[in-house]
Amino acid sequence: MPELTNPRAERVKAVRALAGRPARARSGRFLVEGPQAVREAVRAEHVRVHDLYVTDAAAERYGEIVSAAGGRGIVARTATPEVLDAMSADAQGVLAVADQVDVGLDDVLASRPRLVALLAHVRDPGNAGTVVRAADAAGADAVVLTRESVDLHNPKVVRSTAGSLFHLPVATGADLASAVGALHDRGVTVLAADGTGEHDIDDLLDVAGAAPDGVPDLAGPTAWVFGNEAWGLRDEDRALADAVVRVPIRGRAESLNLATAATVCLYASARAQR
């Protein structure tokens, strides 16, 4: 297959357009940028990769990506660095186009999850992607984004997941109240993470597996609700949860970044459950 050499070609413009939400909505596809994310995408049997673009240098350096793609019948098209740069400034010589990978909330719940991250009004792409990555690292079963949250397939979100987007189910477009109700119906305790919480996460870890009445047990199936980066969770959102839990600030920091707090909470549950 001939090398792509024209940065102004229609194919190049079509790929670049996927950085915008309208093109993603029309096509049902999205960009996977950089060797780490592309490597995980081509390895994931449930992910349909349509196109793989690499520079000659990247094809040599990341031969395992080209090989894994070939094993699934995905043809790697070589392109000049100028073409890859025109497609994406963040490709690092490797770029793929894939079908969107979000699932429905019912699909998440059908697996009877024990640990879920639920993002309510999370608008920052870097934070959303990092929570997906942290959930994957902590062994969570799924992530759920409400309809008010950032688009999962925003290129910044995808990059921030560092490939974890292809490791665990991520549901999008959920209504927070409905999602919490569905989790409750399946016996999942819903905890809201908030600096004003009446429960300290360290105290909950101390009693995990033997929590007294009225105290949430981190050893049981748990969904954590994380709110907006600027204003956290609304009163009505906190009221949906079984309890509100705070991560203690031991030093002089004013607060924790959303993704950092989420990582602490998810790992606390993972430790308690294991």
Structure tokens at 250: 């031991």
CA 44 vs CA 35, 55, 69, 117, 269: distances in Å? 14, 22, 10, 22, 27
Q: What was the pLDDT predicted at 167?
A: 97
CA-CA-CA-CA dihedral for 207, 181, 130, 271, to nearest 10? 20
Judged against a pLDDT cut of 90, whether residue 15 lies above it is answered with yes
The span from the CA of 96 to the CA of 111, in Å, is 29
CA-CA-CA-CA dihedral for 22, 27, 28, 33, to nearest 10? -80
The span from the CA of 260 to the CA of 101, in Å, is 25
Tell me the HSE value of 125 on the side-chain side, using a 13 A CA sphere. Answer: 12
34: left (phi over 0), alpha (psi -120 to 50) or beta: left
pLDDT grade, residue 204 (50/70/90)? Answer: very high
Structure tokens at 189: 């305790």
For range 74-93, the mean pLDDT:
96
Residue 143, φ and ψ in degrees, nearest 5: -125, 140
DSSP letters for 164-187: GGGTS-EEEEE-HHHHHHHHHHTT
Judged against a pLDDT cut of 80, whether residue 1 lies above it is answered with no
Angle subtended at Cα 19 by Cα 17 and Cα 20, rounded to the nearest 5 degrees = 75
In the numeric block, the tokens 């101390």 are attached to 206
Residues 6 or more apart in contact with residue 22 via CB below 8 angstroms: none
Nearest to 153, CA basis, from 99, 77, 207: 99
H/E element, 135: helix 125-137
Q: Kindly tell me the burial class for residue 215, based on how many C-beta atoms sit within 10 Å of its own C-beta (0-12, 13-18, 19 or more).
A: middle
How confident is the model over 219-237, as pLDDT tens digits? 999 999 999 988 889 999 9
Q: What was the pLDDT predicted at 255?
A: 87
Nearest to 72, CA basis, from 27, 38, 114: 38
Judged against a pLDDT cut of 80, whether residue 177 lies above it is answered with yes
Q: State the pTM of this model.
A: 0.95
How confident is the model over 104-156, as pLDDT tens digits? 999 999 999 999 999 999 999 999 999 999 999 999 999 999 999 999 999 99
